Chain A
Amino acid sequence: EAAVTQSPRSKVAVTGGKVTLSCHQTNNHDYMYWYRQDTGHGLRLIHYSYVADSTEKGDIPDGYKASRPSQENFSLILELASLSQTAVYFCASSEDTTNERLFFGHGTKLSVL
């Protein structure tokens, strides 16, 4: 089973502070994604990457940056955290983008106060 590990599992941040969520995969997958989960909205794509040192905007990128320093690691950065960014964040990887199975991490519960 493919492995995607997220850290931290939960975090409390202050409004205006910087938050970095980390994701590490050992699947040797080229594609990695950051999703946000909110009640009533399902999973929405924030950023994704298909190669190291390159990231792409998803459907809701505003307020977020992403970094892919290596094939295995993909970070999500909130430079100025806001209350509206309180959510559960999931990282995922896939072998390629041709309608392939997504392997999700266990999520990071972020609370911005």
Chain B
Amino acid sequence: GEQVEQLPSILRVQEGSSASINCSYEDSASNYFPWYKQEPGENPKLIIDIRSNMERKQIQELIVLLDKKAKRFSLHITDTQPGDSAMYFCAASVPYGNEKITFGAGTKLTIKP
């Protein structure tokens, strides 16, 4: 099945700077790439997603890039704020439904004041 590698597992950045999380996948049939944010003690929530017909998507300070040739996608958070401290999970999904979504191991992001 699909394998998703997510790096780094731990990331600490200064408030106001940018944070980048990188993911890679194996199955070239994967066509949907969501990102979930999980704050401490909370449930994971979808924050942004990108489909294979796009290379870049931005929602406010969140930017997702997709390189289908390299089978890599990444999340960039610009102008980080304390509220961005959380666990972030990338995922990849083949076009057969959510039962085929595979999550990365997660990145714990800490924003230093």
Contacts and interface: CB of A to CB of B under 8 A. Distances in A.
Contacts of A102: 34, 36, 44, 46, 98, 101
Interface stretch (A64-72, A78-86, A93-101): A93-101
Interface stretch (B54-62, B73-81, B88-96): B88-96
Contacts of A58: 99
Interface residues of B, number: 28
Interface of B: 1, 4, 6, 9, 31-32, 34, 36, 41-46, 49, 51, 89, 93, 95-99, 101, 103-106
Contacts of A31: 97-98
A33 B102 CA distance: 13
A48 B101 CA distance: 12
A43 interface: yes
A106 B43 CA distance: 5
Contacts of B9: 40
Given A42-B6, A99-B95, A100-B98, 5 more contacts: A31-B97, A33-B99, A48-B99, A97-B97, A102-B46
